[in-house]
């Protein structure tokens, strides 16, 4: 799509409620920014703002004087989406970053989080090689609120437990649920406004799907791509379709879009499954008389040999994913006159993921005598130069515990929203929204540990701290006859249902530059968790139900020389033989439900004041919200229900001083809040110890939210079309936080019946909850919170400032530094760099994204001081060529540098002990796109 703007054209701005309908092909944000700007598809080809350079340049780099003869400006592609995003940023009163579609049904990246990560202050975590969650300004995903078409929405998927993921029951949003073609705009709001709903201390992510009035007329888009991955060596399809049209003099519009993709992902590599030492585990290698090369460092053990850290369960890893995504969106709009617009929209998305995981673990976890499949006989150790690790070792009598997992998961999202925008008078307008969003995520898992006969095993990390050389001597792990039995380690179902309902209305009054807004909103958020378990028998004679390793060229796309193969469980043969019954029993004691109901209102004032040659834009307001939490579960076969209410007052202010039309200074203050994690509110599965009158594993629904005072200061210089140099400082002072503490208090009355019904309860313990206090280990509020501060720098430089001949070339870059007292999940340094060449008819760009290593947890497992994840640098590329006005060829490369992922532990705090080293390879996509 090409938007053509005649020189000196007058663009009409029609305000309808708090939405903007712009024509002919432009969408500029209100100088104060409305509560819900129209997510116009044409933003990807938006014209310069009214404050842009008076001698604008077109897509070929000609100046305003040069293009006067042509009498039009042509703006297309990636450069135009960058320019339009800067126009939005420039005109908003609170600090907002935007990512816009380059054209209809064409976001810059195939995954939404991959697009968002290019915004300053954003880092992402990946699952199976693609973005899943985001970290904004150093905060965990739970601290960022996500909306879709104006209402807060949930999204959950499952993941690998090796990466800390299971089924997502938290507030964090899983962006990998969606196909990106359904969306045309993403806003990241970093500072608070009274008209923006509460819930995100880090900020808010606002997603928008298309609507027919965004771009009047008939539009058809169809695209198809083939995706090839260097590890799987398979080709997968990706297709999308969009239809949009307006009728009856643009009074009625309809839009429908659909997208489908298949993705085969193999995550392959090596793992130690943590390192540990015999001394930490309370056992010993003493009296085994191995050959020792080097000198172990003493740690307090009777034998320094027991101080050596060694891999617990060294293994080769295969995590196979067969994913299918389907996305559907639709919208109907009716505008009988210029005062009224009615919109109904719906969005559906489904992610199916079938996983087959094979892990060849060798049992070094316990360091005792061999026997009963646990233990080993040490033959030799090579001590690292620091004296702390056994970087090489040989054993006899080692048992394989080969893990085989089959997981099937489905995540289904659906949303239905109705909007009404009504201009009551020339000064007064109303915007209303009612919507419902539901997300369900289900996973079933069957897991076996195939146990082998004892055999030799050795490893050697001397050449690489990530990938050891291994040997099995004369033992063959591919021989199914070498396996004795298989333990059923897991046979379970897990499910999460999240259901949100929103109803809200906003009134806007305008008189000159003064804008007064007021509104009210009601939200109900429901989260329900359930699980069920099947039988877990031990299967003997398992060799008849094993098969050769099913994946060719195992590990060769990640590790030089590949990885050794091994026999695996044949799940189809086990199903056919009926060895595992398919009956499941609901684990009632683990089921829980949390419902939040919030009622909020706000008032907000906006104004613009001329100060000589300068303009000051102001925004100030306050929001008041009441929250009711209802948490339910079943304890000792007795239903328990706990209810809690709290209220919050949230003032905010934003100011933008335009020293010149191109140089802006922003300042902002806001009180923000994030409600406690849902896992902290649920009351399922507590452990009551009556002899000690203590309680553990009990959530606390009486928790109040995190509260923060936020301060921002930004300097922005828009020095050319698409050009920006900016520097920003931010500081967030968490004045109310959460911590785990030991408190002595009365047991709330809601639990008494469950305690009395517990068969373990005995009056002889003198632990009557109505009479004596208990000691709780639980989450509590604390005024001693975290503090986060940082710097954000942006440099978007079109090379047209150097020469008109370089007008198609430029860079878009940013850098973020963040420091926090609690550094969990935080990368101190992150940066993005995109170099592009874009003429409007053809173009190519390369994007580099980097984040530093970050902390996962303190302490780590098995005696480690901390668990961490290494930083990553990923390079992606994209190119296109317009064969005709309607037909485009495109080529994309994802992770072209074949970045690997590494988790590691720190031992005594000074060590670097690789826990997992895996990769998913490079992905190349080639396709064609037709637009009418």
Task: In whole angstroms, give the CA distance from residue 890 to residue 926.
Answer: 6
pLDDT tens digits for range 341-352: 999 999 999 999
In this prediction, residues 209-223 reach a mean pLDDT of: 95
In this prediction, residues 307-312 reach a mean pLDDT of: 95
Statement: residue 215 has pLDDT above 70: yes
Cβ atoms 638, 757 nearer than 8 A = yes
pLDDT at 20: 29
pLDDT at 161: 63
Can you tell me which residue has the tokens 């005792």?
A: 368
pLDDT at 166: 67
Rg (CA), the chain: 30
pLDDT tens digits for range 408-427: 999 999 999 999 999 999 99
353 three-class SS: strand
In this prediction, residues 526-537 reach a mean pLDDT of: 93
C-alpha dist (Å) from residue 930 to 100, 104, 161, 261, 896: 20, 11, 41, 18, 26
pLDDT at 31: 35
Question: Which one is predicted more confidently, 758 or 75?
Answer: 758
In this prediction, residues 64-73 reach a mean pLDDT of: 33
pLDDT tens digits for range 858-871: 999 999 999 999 99
pLDDT at 4: 34
* Closest listed residue to residue 810, CA positions, set 21, 37, 201, 59: 59
Cβ atoms 268, 898 nearer than 8 A = no
pLDDT tens digits for range 625-667: 999 999 999 988 888 999 999 999 999 999 999 999 999 999 9
pLDDT tens digits for range 78-132: 888 899 999 999 999 999 999 998 888 788 888 888 889 889 999 888 888 888 8
C-alpha dist (Å) from residue 169 to 201, 405, 440: 19, 22, 10
Task: In whole angstroms, give the CA distance from residue 310 to residue 95.
Answer: 49
pLDDT tens digits for range 27-63: 333 333 433 333 333 433 333 333 333 333 333 333 3
pLDDT at 43: 38
In this prediction, residues 527-548 reach a mean pLDDT of: 92
Statement: residue 66 has pLDDT above 90: no
Task: In whole angstroms, give the CA distance from residue 2 to residue 931.
Answer: 11
In this prediction, residues 669-686 reach a mean pLDDT of: 91
Statement: residue 295 has pLDDT above 70: yes
* Closest listed residue to residue 293, CA positions, set 384, 363, 209, 377: 384
Question: Strand locations in 512-637, DSSP E?
Answer: 514-533, 538-540, 546-547, 568-569, 585-586, 592-611, 614-635
325 three-class SS: strand
| pLDDT bucket at 144, cuts 50 / 70 / 90 | very high
What string of DSSP letters covers 641-683?
EEEEEEEEEEEEEEEEEEEETTEEEEEEEEEEEEPPPHHHH--
Statement: residue 479 has pLDDT above 80: yes
Q: What is the dihedral sign for C-alpha 233, 131, 29, 807? A: negative
Q: What is the DSSP letter of 139?
A: B
Cβ atoms 686, 785 nearer than 8 A = no
| pLDDT bucket at 76, cuts 50 / 70 / 90 | low
From the number of C-beta atoms within 10 Å of its C-beta (0-12, 13-18, 19+), residue 337 rates as exposed
Tallying the residues shown for the chain, one arrives at 932
| pLDDT bucket at 162, cuts 50 / 70 / 90 | low
pLDDT at 34: 37
pLDDT at 13: 28
Statement: residue 321 has pLDDT above 50: yes
* Closest listed residue to residue 931, CA positions, set 80, 46, 104: 104
- What is the chain's mean pLDDT, rounded? 88
Statement: residue 792 has pLDDT above 80: yes
pLDDT at 68: 32
């Amino acid at each position: 799509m090409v938007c053509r703007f005649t020189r000196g054209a007058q663009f009409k701005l029609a305000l309808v409620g708090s939405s903007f309908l712009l024509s002919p092909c432009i969408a500029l944000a209100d100088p104060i920014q409305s509560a819900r700007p129209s997510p116009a598809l044409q933003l990807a080809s938006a014209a310069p703002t009214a404050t842009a350079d008076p001698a604008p340049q077109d897509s070929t780099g000609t100046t305003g004087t040069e293009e006067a003869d042509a009498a039009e400006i042509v703006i297309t592609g990636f450069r135009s989406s960058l320019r339009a995003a800067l126009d939005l940023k420039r005109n908003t009163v609170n600090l907002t970053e935007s990512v816009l579609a380059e054209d209809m049904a064409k976001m810059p990246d195939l995954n939404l989080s991959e697009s968002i990560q290019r915004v300053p202050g954003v880092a992402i975590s990946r699952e199976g090689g693609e973005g899943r969650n985001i970290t904004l300004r150093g905060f965990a995903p739970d601290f960022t609120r996500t909306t879709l078409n104006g209402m807060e929405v949930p999204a959950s998927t499952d993941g690998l437990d090796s990466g800390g993921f299971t089924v997502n029951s938290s507030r964090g949003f899983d962006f990998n649920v969606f196909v990106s073609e359904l969306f045309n705009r993403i806003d990241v709001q970093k500072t608070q406004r009274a008209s923006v709903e509460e819930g995100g201390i880090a900020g808010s992510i606002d997603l928008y799907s298309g609507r027919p009035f965004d771009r009047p007329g008939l539009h058809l888009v169809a695209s198809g791509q083939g995706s090839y991955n260097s590890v799987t060596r398979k080709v997968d399809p990706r297709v999308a379709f969009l239809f949009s049209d307006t009728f009856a003099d643009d009074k009625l519009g309809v839009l429908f879009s659909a997208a489908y993709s298949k993705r085969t992902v193999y995550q392959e590599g090596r793992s130690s499954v943590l390192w540990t030492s015999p001394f930490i585990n309370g056992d010993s290698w003493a009296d085994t008389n191995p050959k020792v090369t080097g000198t172990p460092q003493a740690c307090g053990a009777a034998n320094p040999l027991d101080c050596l850290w060694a891999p617990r369960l060294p293994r080769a890893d295969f995590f196979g994913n067969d994913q299918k995504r389907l996305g559907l969106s639709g919208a109907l709009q009716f505008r009988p006159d210029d005062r009224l617009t009615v919109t109904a929209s719906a969005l559906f998305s489904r992610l199916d993921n079938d996983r087959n995981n094979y892990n060849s673990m060798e049992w070094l976890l316990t360091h005792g005598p061999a026997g009963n499949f646990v233990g080993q006989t040490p033959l030799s150790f090579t001590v690292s130069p620091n004296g702390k690790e056994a970087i090489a070792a040989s054993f006899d009598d080692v048992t394989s515990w080969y893990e085989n997992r089959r997981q099937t998961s489905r995540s289904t999202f659906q949303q239905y929203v109705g909007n009404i925008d009504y201009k009551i008078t020339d000064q007064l307008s109303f915007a209303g929204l009612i919507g419902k969003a539901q997300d369900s995520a289900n996973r079933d898992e069957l897991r076996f540990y195939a146990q082998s006969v004892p055999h030799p095993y050795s490893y050697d990390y001397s050449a690489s701290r990530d990938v050891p050389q291994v040997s099995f001597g004369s033992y063959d792990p591919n021989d199914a006859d070498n396996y004795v039995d298989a333990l059923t380690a897991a046979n379970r179902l897990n499910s999460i249902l999240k259901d949100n309902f929103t109803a809200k209305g906003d009134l806007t009054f305008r008189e000159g530059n003064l804008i007064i807004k007021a509104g009210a909103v009601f939200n109900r958020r429901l989260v329900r968790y359930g699980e069920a378990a099947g039988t877990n028998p031990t299967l003997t004679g398992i060799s008849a139900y094993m098969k050769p390793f099913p994946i060719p060229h195992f590990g060769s796309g990640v590790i030089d020389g590949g990885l050794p193969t091994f026999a695996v469980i044949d799940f189809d043969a086990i199903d056919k033989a009926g060895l595992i019954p398919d009956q499941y029993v609901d684990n009632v004691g683990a089921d829980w439900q949390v419902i939040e109901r919030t009622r909020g209102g706000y008032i907000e004032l906006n104004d613009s004041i001329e100060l000589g040659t300068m303009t000051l834009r102001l925004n100030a307001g306050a929001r008041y919200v009441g929250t009711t939490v209802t948490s339910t579960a079943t304890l000792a076969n007795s239903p328990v229900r706990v209810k809690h209410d709290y209220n919050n007052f949230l003032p905010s202010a934003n100011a933008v001083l335009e020293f010149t039309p191109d140089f802006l200074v922003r300042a902002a203050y806001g009180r923000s809040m994030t409600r406690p994690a849902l896992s902290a509110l649920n009351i399922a599965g507590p452990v009551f110890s009556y002899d000690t009158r203590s309680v553990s594993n009990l959530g606390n629904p009486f928790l109040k939210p995190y509260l923060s005072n936020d301060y921002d200061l930004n300097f922005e210089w828009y020095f050319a079309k698409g050009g920006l140099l900016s520097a920003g400082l931010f500081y967030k002072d968490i004045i109310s936080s959460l911590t785990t503490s030991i408190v002595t208090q009365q047991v709330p009355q809601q639990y008494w019946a469950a305690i009395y019904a517990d068969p373990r309860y005995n009056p002889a313990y003198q632990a009557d909850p109505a009479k004596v206090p208990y000691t709780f280990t639980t989450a509590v509020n604390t005024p001693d919170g975290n503090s986060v501060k940082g710097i954000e720098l942006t440099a978007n430089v079109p090379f047209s400032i150097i020469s008109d001949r370089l007008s198609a070339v430029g860079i878009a870059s940013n850098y973020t530094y963040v420091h926090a007292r609690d550094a969990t999940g935080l990368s101190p340094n992150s940066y993005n760099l995109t170099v592009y060449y874009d003429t409007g008819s053809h173009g190519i760009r390369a994007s580099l994204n980097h984040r530093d290593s970050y902390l996962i947890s303190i302490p780590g497992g098995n005696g480690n001081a901390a668990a961490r994840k290494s930083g990553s640098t990923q390079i992606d590329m994209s190119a296109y060529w317009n064969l005709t006005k309607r037909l485009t060829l495109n080529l994309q490369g994802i992770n072209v540098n074949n970045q690997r992922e590494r988790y590691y532990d720190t031992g005594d705090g000074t060590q670097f002990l690789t826990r997992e080293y895996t990769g998913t390879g490079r992905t190349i996509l080639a396709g064609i796109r037709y637009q009418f």
